[in-house]
Chain A
Amino acid sequence: MKRLVEEAVVRFQEPVAPRLIYSLRLRSPAIAAAVRPGQFVHIRVSSGFDPLLRRPISIHSVAGEEIELIYRVVGRGTEILAGLRPGAVLDLLGPIGRGFDLEPDKTPLMIGGGLGVPPIHYLAQDLATRGGSGLVLLGFRGLDDAYAVEELEALPGLEVKTATEDGSLGHKGLLTELLPSGPELDNRAVYACGPTPMLAAVAAWAEENGLPCQVSLEERMGCGLGACLGCTVPVLIDDDSDNPIKYRRVCTDGPVFPASTINWKELTGGL
């Protein structure tokens, strides 16, 4: 899919959870028209060269010419974003990446943990708009980190279950404790985004149960265009594969990957 550079205009920004989580809505017509669930935009946070690198942030929702991003302030770049007021202009590169590819004739199980919820929210919203149905599992540390739950619960066709580690919302415990079993597994395909250990657990569970599974990964990123090879993740290579290179680019080959292709041992080894 063709990427472009667009000057987006901030429409609205507000905190959506006490722990420095913000929703940023931007008027970005060209990107809004082209983007698909699971894709992201690569944002230039400074008009100069410091902070240097663009910040990749997944799309949370699209409405007409507007895109919505949800992010947490974790460093200099996101701190700058959080300070933007309506009318500010933001240079976006996008839409970037391979998004989710819904398996035909399978019921979606959509799993979003922590800051991984936005692409899952977009996927679920898109599915509901087209009359689809599925199960959404959300996990957060606690109520102070939670967002998008009510919006998802309000969408038709979706069953939504939430877990928080401290029990302040929904089930007390890990999101993985909500994973279905028995007949609820029939004909399911899994789509997940969240912290890497969570994705590794979901991938293993999906494999044990013979379910197709797509995961959205993230890495520190350079160009966002597939040129610099900075954002790579380790993959499993067959001995007879004609491409012996053991890494794939999150920005171009991903961010969504079939879970069975990822070298989870190496990906989680550094954590």
Chain B
Amino acid sequence: MASDRTELKRSDRGAGPDLRVNIGALSLANPVMVASGTFGYGEEFADVCDIDRIGAIVTKAITLKPKSGNPGPRVWETPSGMLNSIGLENVGLERFLSDKLPFLQEHESRVIVNIAAVRIDDYARLAERLSEAEGVDALEVNISCPNVKAGGLSFGTDPDQARAVTLAVRAATNLPLLIKLTPNVTDIGVVAEAVVDGGADSISLINTLVGMAIDLEREKPALGNIFGGLSGPAIKPVALACLWKVRGRVDVPLIGMGGIVNGRDAAEFLMAGATAVQVGTASFVEPRSAEIVLNGLIDYLKERNLDSARDLVGRIHI
């Protein structure tokens, strides 16, 4: 924790390295974003965090209609991580536009709206409506949802379904399009190729890993939904492996996430091929984690005498 404090106290960073990166047409002041589902709609963290320093805020997943989500327990701690089965509780598109987007519009960070649905038509409708809204800089498509028309298998586990969702959203919007991949597949490279084929400008990865826990006191599965998504430092090696595999298969800019808690973690992802990173679970532990990651990344660049964050991207070659 001592090093966290130092990261935050140092406010004069001098001229410093150039942190700007581009994800297609989306230009970011720095490569640090906060991950969907871990930062609400931004306002929740405003008391305790300087949110304007964050390169981009990815919102909680929005569905067309409000969604109540799963019965509890919804979160459970695991070694160096946690499980969640929130169940996509969110206010729905209309209340997002009227109640949540205005706050985000007032801040410096880019706004990336994450969208989720169980039908391809609904993804397209969300994309269409959000493209008309002021202040939305890009869309991130959560394809880890079950495709109810195809027996409930998640869109993201089937390359053809993943391509189909991407095509439908691509046709509905000119906004920069990020497709968020799930690691719960046999070959993530094939899915990556499929979504790029479908028109994705970028791929963000990874979403959570499927996991569960047992509550010994109640003698039941710990989560109300039984299965949940594993996140946190424990999954970082899996995230890096997925990033490395995808990097070898597609040419679009990549956004890496999975267990990033400090600047050095972020540097690993950039070096492995990510143009930007997302900070997620770390924000639950230390609300100012995105800032800490950013400051640590700046320190790392200075340490290595690198002039810009772009110099780090994909620096390791096989």
Contact = CB atoms under 8 A, between A and B. Distances in A.
A220 B75 contact: yes
A203 B62 CA distance: 35
Contacts of B220: 270
Interface string A191-225: 00000000000000000000000000001111111
Given A245-B68, A245-B89, A231 B80 contact: no
Contacts, number: 127
B200 to A, nearest CB: 27
Contact of B44 (A47, A49, A227, A246): A227
A152 B76 CA distance: 35
Contacts of B233: 49-50, 52
A266 B81 contact: no
Contacts of A47: 1-2
Interface stretch (B133-141, B183-191, B279-287): B279-287
Contacts of A51: 77
B73 interface: yes
Contact of B287 (A48, A220, A225): A225
Q: Chain B interface mostly helix, strand, loop or mixed?
A: loop
Interface stretch (B34-42, B123-131, B154-162, B298-306): B34-42
A233 interface: yes
B253 interface: no
Contact of A228 (B73, B75, B91): B75
A54 B284 CA distance: 8
Interface in A25-65: 44, 47-54
A269 B73 CA distance: 12
B226 to A, nearest CB: 12
Contacts of A161: none
Contacts of B71: 234, 266, 270
A125 B44 CA distance: 31
A4 B47 contact: yes
Interface string B36-79: 01111000110110000000000010000011110111111111
B38 A231 contact: no
Interface string A81-111: 0000000000101000000000000000000
Contacts of B286: 44, 91
A3 interface: yes
B84 interface: yes
Given A4-B48, A223-B283, A232 B80 contact: no
Contact of B47 (A2, A91, A231, A234): A2
B284 A53 contact: yes
Give the contact-size bracket for chain B.
Answer: 35 or more
Nearest to A4: B48
Contacts of B76: 220
A79 to B, nearest CB: 13
B72 A228 contact: no
A229 B38 contact: no
B218 interface: yes
B214 to A, nearest CB: 14
Contacts of B79: 50
Contacts of B72: 219-220, 231-234, 247, 270
B284 A50 contact: no
A5 interface: yes
Interface string B216-237: 0010100010000000110000
A244 B40 contact: no
A225 B40 contact: yes
Nearest to B42: A227
A47 B261 CA distance: 12
B6 to A, nearest CB: 13
Contacts of A233: 72
Contact of A50 (B39, B80, B283, B287): B80
Contacts of A157: none
A2 B72 CA distance: 27
B72 to A, nearest CB: 6
B107 to A, nearest CB: 15
A226 B44 CA distance: 6
20 contacts: A49-B232, A49-B285, A52-B78, A52-B232, A53-B75, A53-B82, A53-B285, A220-B75, A227-B44, A227-B283, A228-B284, A229-B89, A230-B74, A232-B72, A234-B71, A244-B66, A245-B68, A247-B69, A247-B72, A270-B72
Given A232-B89, A245-B91, A247-B69, 19 more contacts: A4-B48, A5-B288, A47-B2, A49-B232, A52-B80, A93-B287, A219-B72, A219-B73, A220-B76, A227-B38, A228-B37, A228-B40, A229-B89, A230-B84, A232-B74, A233-B72, A234-B71, A245-B69, A270-B72
Interface of B: 1-2, 37-40, 44-45, 47-48, 60, 66-69, 71-82, 84, 86, 89, 91, 218, 220, 224, 232-233, 261, 281-288
Interface of A: 2-5, 44, 47-54, 91, 93, 219-234, 243-247, 252, 266, 270-271
